[in-house]
Structure 1
C-alpha cells in the first residue's frame, strides 16, 4: 500500500515534471518565433536595394494571384448576361481574371491617351507623395497634405484669374503666370503646414491630430469662400472662374491635359529633395531634429525651428500639387477635389519614404488608378471590386516596407545576433 502510494506520488511528480518540461518547450518555441521575427526585421532593415526590389516584385506577384482568385470567385455570384468561364462542378463565372488584369494594363499604358492619363495622375502623386515623405524623413507624420493641396489650389486659381485681362496671350506671359501660380500655391500650402509644425514644436501638439483637423478646416474655408464670395457667378456649381490660357500648362498629348513640363518638374523636385536630405548639412539637421530632438539640441541645432521648417516644406509641396491640379487638370478650383493628399501617404509608404523611391511608387499608383477606369468601363466589373484589386496590390507591396520601417524604428538593423540574444533573455 505504502509503496503503491509512493508510486502514485512518483507518478504525479513525473507528470508534473513532464508538464513543466512541456511548458518550457512551449516557451522555447515562442522564443524561437520571436527571435526569428527579430532576425527577419533585421534582415529587412539591412536589405540592399536589389533585394528590396526583388521583395517588392514578389509581393506584387502574390497580390496579382490573390486578386485574380478573388475576381474569379466573385464571378460565380455575380449577375451577367453572358458568362465568360465555365468550370465543371463549380459552374459559370462572369469574370476572367486574366482579361481584367490585361484590360487594366492596357488602360494604363496601352495607348498614348491612356499613358497621358497615367502620367497625369503620376505627376500629382509625385508631389503629394514627396510632401508626406519629407515629413516622414524628419520623424513627423503629415496627414494634412490634402488640406494644404486644397488651399494651395484655391489660392492659385484666385491669383491667376486676373492675369487674363493684364497679360497678352504669349509664351512670355506663360513664363510669368505659371511660375507665379506655383509660388502662390507653395506659399499658401507652406503656411498651412507651418501651423501644425509650430504647434508641434512650441505647444507639444500631436501633428497627426492637428493636420487631420486642419484638413476639415481647409475644406470648410475653401467651400465657404467660393460658395459665398469668390465663386463663378455664371454657374450654379461651387467653383471659381477658369484661369486664363496663359496660366495653363500646355498639353503634351492631343486629347489630354497632361503636360510633360509638370512631370519633369516633379522629377527634378524628387531629386532635389533626395539631395537635400542625404547630401547636405541642412538635410541632416532636419532629419535629426524630428527623430532625436534632444540629441540635435545638444549638438547646437535649433530642433524646434527645424521641425517647423520640415512641416512648412511638406506643406509647400502639397500646395504645389494643388497649383498643378488647377493649371494642368481642371483649370479652376472646384469642390470635391480628389483625395490625392491621402493617396500620397500610400505612395510614401510604398517608397519607404525615399524621395527617389516615390517616383516608381507614384507611377504604380497612377497606373492602377488609370487602369481601374478602363476595367470599369470596358468589362462592367463593379468599381468596388476594382478598388479591392488596387488595394490588394498596394497592401502587398507596401507591407515589406512597413515592417522595414518598424525594424528601423526599433534599431534591428546591423545586429541580428544582438536581437536574438535579447530575445533569449526575455523568454
Structure 2
C-alpha cells in the first residue's frame, strides 16, 4: 500500500470516528501537548539563571521554571484555584474565563455556520468590529430616551439587534460577491477585515470620539444600558445573562442546522453542492443567507463586547473573530461542540494572564504553550474536516446525485 493510500485510509478512519473516540483523541492530544510543553519549560528553565532556592528539582537537576506550577496556574488559576481553602465559584478569575467564553461562543458559531455551508468566512473579526461600533453608537443614541430597569430591558435587546443587523449586512457583502461574482470569499473577507478596522478607527478617532478621553473611543454608555452583573459583581465585566444567551444561541443554531429546511440546504450545499443544486437547493441564496447569519452572530459577539465588557466602543478590539476560527475547527463545526471549545479557549486566555503574573515564566513561552495546546487539540478535527471534503469529492465524482433529498452514503447527518 502506498503512502497516499495509507493517508487516505487514515483520514477515512478519522472521519468515521464516533463522538467518544473523537473526545478521547482530543484528550490524548491535550496530554501530548502538555508533555511537549513540559519539555520546553524544562529546557528553558535550564537556560535561565536563578537562585538555587527558587529552582524546581527533577531527577536531581535544578530548573528555574517548574512545569507543574505553570500548568497549575494555567488551568486551575483560570478557575480561581478551586483547590484553595475558602474557594468560591463566584470568584473574579472564573468570571474572566466565562466572560471570554461568552464572546467566543458567538464568534465560534459565526465561523461554524459558514463552514457548514462550505464557505470559508475569515471575516468574523470585521463583522464583530462593525457590529460593536454600531451597537455602541445605537445604544448611546437611544439611552437618553429611557432609564433605570426599563432602560436595561429595552436597550440591551436593541443593542443586540443592532449588532446582529450591521454584522449581517457586512457579512452579506462577501456572500453576494461569492454567489453572483464567484469571488473568493477568503480574499474578500480578509480585505473587509482591514476595511472595517480602518473605517472604525477613522470614525472613532474623528467623528464620534469622546472629547473627554485621550483614547480612541466613544462616549461611555450609562450603567443601565449594559448587561447587569448578576452574582459575580460589577467589577468583573461579566454577566450571567449574557452567558445564558450564548447557551441559548448554541441550542438554537444546533436545531436550525439539524432540524430545519434551511439547515438541510446549508449542510447539503457544504458537503455536495452539485447534489444540492440537482435536488432544487438555490445555492446562491443559501450562500448569501449563510453569510448573513454568520455575520449576524459575529455582530452579536461585538455587541457582547460593548455591552458586557467595555461599556463603550474602543479601537484595538481583541482578535475574537480569528479565535473563533480555531474554536469552530476544534468543535468540528458542531454548534454544541462550539460551547466546549469556547470554554477551553476561555480557560487558556484567562489562565495565560494568571501564569504571567504568578510565575517568572516569560510571556513569550506562555504564548508558545498556549499555542501548542490549541494546535494539538485542533489538528485532529482539522484533518477530519479535510477527510470529509476528500470523501465528498470522491463520491461526487463516482456516484450520481440523489434526487430524493438524500446525498448518498456519506449522508449529511454524519457531519
Q: TM-score, normalised by structure 1?
A: 0.86
1:235 Cα deviation (Å)? 1.1
Corresponding residue for 1:168?
A: 147
Q: Distance in 2 between matches of 1:236 and 1:256?
A: 24
Q: Distance in 2 between matches of 1:412 and 1:404?
A: 12
Is the CA contact 1:250–1:257 (under 8 Å) kept in the aligned structure 2? Answer: no
Q: Cα–Cα, structure 1 residues 36 and 292, in superposed 2: closer, same or farther, change >3 Å?
A: closer
Is the CA contact 1:163–1:244 (under 8 Å) kept in the aligned structure 2? Answer: no
Q: Distance in 1 between matches of 2:179 and 2:314?
A: 34
- Within-5 A mapping of 1:242-253: 242-252=220-230, 253=232
1:236 Cα deviation (Å)? 1.5
1:312 Cα deviation (Å)? 0.5
- Within-5 A mapping of 1:379-398: 379-398=359-378
| CA-atom RMSD in angstroms | 1.9
Is the CA contact 1:41–1:412 (under 8 Å) kept in the aligned structure 2? Answer: no
- Within-5 A mapping of 1:142-153: 142-153=121-132
Q: Distance in 1 between matches of 2:284 and 2:393?
A: 28
Is the CA contact 1:45–1:413 (under 8 Å) kept in the aligned structure 2? Answer: no
1:157 Cα deviation (Å)? 0.4
Q: Name which of 234, 243, 251 aligns with 1:263.
A: 243
Q: Name which of 20, 23, 43 aligns with 1:73.
A: 43
Corresponding residue for 2:21?
A: 51
The Cα offsets for residues 153-203 of structure 1, whole Å up to 9 and x where unpaired, read as 00000011133322122x222111000000000000111100000000000
The Cα offsets for residues 199-244 of structure 1, whole Å up to 9 and x where unpaired, read as 0000000000000000000011101111111110111110000112
Corresponding residue for 1:130?
A: 109
Is the CA contact 1:135–1:141 (under 8 Å) kept in the aligned structure 2? Answer: yes
Matched, 1:300 2:280: yes
Gaps of 5+ in 1: 1-30, 419-427
Gaps of 5+ in 2: 82-90, 399-415
Corresponding residue for 1:114?
A: 93
Is the CA contact 1:375–1:381 (under 8 Å) kept in the aligned structure 2? Answer: yes
Is the CA contact 2:98–2:238 (under 8 Å) kept in the aligned structure 1? Answer: yes
Q: TM-score, normalised by structure 2?
A: 0.89
Q: Cα–Cα, structure 1 residues 146 and 190, in superposed 2: closer, same or farther, change >3 Å?
A: same
Aligned residues: 384
Is the CA contact 1:42–1:414 (under 8 Å) kept in the aligned structure 2? Answer: no
Corresponding residue for 1:315?
A: 295
The Cα offsets for residues 262-315 of structure 1, whole Å up to 9 and x where unpaired, read as 111111111111111111111111222344433323222211011000001000
